[in-house]
């Protein structure tokens, strides 16, 4: 049986092109030497990129530069473009030393909640390791403390973010909803919510497959996130449903936003591999009633209004009683 060392350059290139992770060979400064087809898919969004750090946002580029200077194998999590869309996805990163001062960069997509939980476990294991190491070396304690805090921040982010859409996950958006309801009750302030559902989503999955369905979810999530005002928050409630929190807004302001979101979604084309399609959304709205509502009753009224919108023909919004 042949060993890895017996494989030719062509054999390795063929192997790497059949791996779903993005892989690139870089030098110590991050200059891109070669890469596989998955990495090329994301690189098309940055045609002028010459170094690995050029493919990251500025806040992450400094971290990548620092890790390139290390001599050991490096492991972290963050955002990276490995799809044909404009949206970056959550990835598990490795930077592995190779011969001639080169390094192998690997970005593997975290696609499910199970993957995200596994990533959190790995990050927490790193934290424990850094804690032990810091006790043995005062000289390295400060550096390890900084790195430990960065890993903790990554673990915290992964635990609260939906890995598919990059929006706050169900647990986080419900927690935020509960906090906003308490604030509105205490200060007798305005507060409304919208429940958003993608129309005919099951048909999309059945006709085109779940990977295309996932692309539709990411596309709609990105549009919702970029189309709401700054104080508002959108999160993934589950499946094809999203929740938008609108502090200091009554049901009429929420309705204006809903009308705009319906227009925005229907005007965009979703492109995934060989498929192009238009999608629409149905929205249910509810305004918080001080002294009457709990977070659960408020959510139920908005959810019922959303189903009314679907029963009335979809691609519309309804204000709940």
pTM of the complete model: 0.59
Name the pLDDT band for 88 (thresholds 50, 70, 90): low
Percent of all residues in the chain with a pLDDT value above 90, rounded to a whole number: 48
What is the pLDDT at residue 70?
A: 87
Q: Which of 312, 176, 185 is nearest to 244 (CA)?
A: 176
Would residue 165 count as lying in a domain?
no
**162-217 tens-digit pLDDT:** 989 989 999 999 999 999 999 999 999 999 999 999 999 999 999 999 989 999 99
Name the pLDDT band for 148 (thresholds 50, 70, 90): low
In angstroms, the CA 130 to CA 190 distance is: 46
In angstroms, the CA 214 to CA 165 distance is: 9
Q: Which of 108, 240, 241, 292 is catalytic?
A: 240
Most confident of 3-17, 140-154, 161-175: 161-175
Same domain? 196 vs 149: no
At 220, list the tokens. Answer: 């709609």
Would residue 126 count as lying in a domain?
yes
* DSSP structural state of residue 314: S
- The answer to whether residues 236 and 162 touch, using CB atoms and an 8 Å cutoff, is yes
Same domain? 259 vs 139: no
Last residue within a domain, chosen from 111, 135, 160? 160
Percent of all residues in the chain with a pLDDT value above 70, rounded to a whole number: 77
Length of the chain in terms of residues written: 321
What is the pLDDT at residue 275?
A: 84
**260-270 tens-digit pLDDT:** 999 999 999 99
Three-state secondary-structure class, residue 119: helix
Name the pLDDT band for 86 (thresholds 50, 70, 90): low
* CA count, 13 A, side-chain hemisphere, 8: 3
What is the pLDDT at residue 44?
A: 81
Three-state secondary-structure class, residue 151: helix
Last residue within a domain, chosen from 160, 179, 205? 160
Annotate 230-266 with b (16+ C-beta within 10 A) or e (fewer).
eebbbbbbeebbbbbbbbebebebbbebbeebbeebe
Same domain? 286 vs 305: yes
Number of domains in the chain: 2
3 pLDDT more than 50: no
Same domain? 44 vs 134: yes
Would residue 73 count as lying in a domain?
yes
Same domain? 130 vs 10: yes
What is the pLDDT at residue 200?
A: 96
Same domain? 128 vs 193: no
Whole domain around residue 248: which residue ranges?
170-319
Same domain? 125 vs 234: no
Last residue within a domain, chosen from 133, 160, 187? 160
Name the pLDDT band for 55 (thresholds 50, 70, 90): confident
87 pLDDT more than 70: no
Would residue 54 count as lying in a domain?
yes
Same domain? 279 vs 209: yes
Same domain? 148 vs 198: no
* DSSP structural state of residue 52: G
Mean pLDDT of the chain: 84
5 pLDDT more than 50: no
The verdict on whether 240 is a catalytic residue reads: yes
What is the pLDDT at residue 315?
A: 97
Cβ-defined contacts of 26-32 (< 8 Å, 24+): 26/51, 26/52, 26/68, 26/102, 26/103, 26/104, 26/105, 27/101, 27/102, 27/103, 28/68, 28/69, 28/101, 28/102, 28/103, 29/68, 30/54, 30/64, 30/65, 30/68
Instruction: Work out whether the CA dihedral 155, 157, 159, 162 comes out positive or negative.
Output: negative
What is the pLDDT at residue 1?
A: 44
Would residue 60 count as lying in a domain?
yes
Same domain? 141 vs 76: yes
Would residue 120 count as lying in a domain?
yes
CATH number at residue 26: 3.30.450.20
What is the pLDDT at residue 32?
A: 92
Most confident of 50-59, 137-146, 206-215, 236-245: 236-245
For residues 169 and 130, which has the higher predicted lDDT (pLDDT)?
169
For residues 243 and 132, which has the higher predicted lDDT (pLDDT)?
243
Same domain? 184 vs 249: yes
Same domain? 99 vs 207: no
CATH number at residue 274: 3.30.70.270
Would residue 194 count as lying in a domain?
yes
């Amino acid at each position: 049986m042949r060993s890895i060392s017996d494989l030719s350059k062509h054999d390795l290139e063929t192997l790497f092109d059949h791996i779903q992770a993005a892989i690139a060979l870089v030098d110590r400064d991050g200059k891109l030497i070669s890469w596989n087809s998955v990495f090329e898919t994301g690189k098309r969004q940055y045609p002028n990129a010459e170094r690995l750090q050029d493919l990251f946002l500025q806040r992450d580029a400094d971290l990548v530069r620092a890790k390139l200077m290390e001599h050991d194998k490096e492991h972290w999590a963050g955002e990276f473009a490995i799809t044909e869309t404009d949206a970056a996805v959550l990835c598990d990163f490795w930077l592995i030393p190779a011969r001639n001062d080169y390094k192998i960069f690997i970005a593997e997509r975290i696609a499910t909640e199970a993957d995200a939980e596994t990533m959190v476990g790995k990050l927490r294991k790193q934290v424990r390791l850094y804690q032990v190491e810091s006790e043995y070396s005062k000289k390295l304690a400060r550096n390890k403390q900084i790195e430990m805090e960065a890993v903790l921040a990554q673990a915290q982010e992964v635990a609260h973010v939906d890995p598919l859409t990059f929006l706050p996950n169900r647990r986080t958006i419900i927690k935020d909803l509960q906090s906003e309801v308490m604030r509105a009750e205490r200060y007798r302030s305005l507060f409304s919510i919208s429940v958003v559902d993608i129309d005919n989503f099951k048909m999309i999955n059945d006709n085109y497959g779940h990977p295309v369905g996932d692309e539709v979810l990411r596309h709609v999530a990105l549009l919702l996130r970029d189309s709401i005002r700054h104080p508002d928050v959108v999160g993934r409630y589950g499946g094809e449903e999203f929740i938008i929190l609108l502090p200091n807004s009554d049901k009429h302001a929420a309705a204006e936003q809903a009308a705009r979101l319906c227009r925005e979604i229907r005007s965009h084309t979703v492109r995934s591999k060989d498929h192009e399609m238009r999608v629409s959304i149905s929205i249910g709205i509810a305004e918080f009633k001080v002294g009457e509502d709990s977070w659960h009753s408020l959510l139920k009224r908005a959810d019922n209004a959303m189903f009314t919108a679907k029963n009335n023909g979809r691609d519309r919004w309804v204000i709940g009683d």
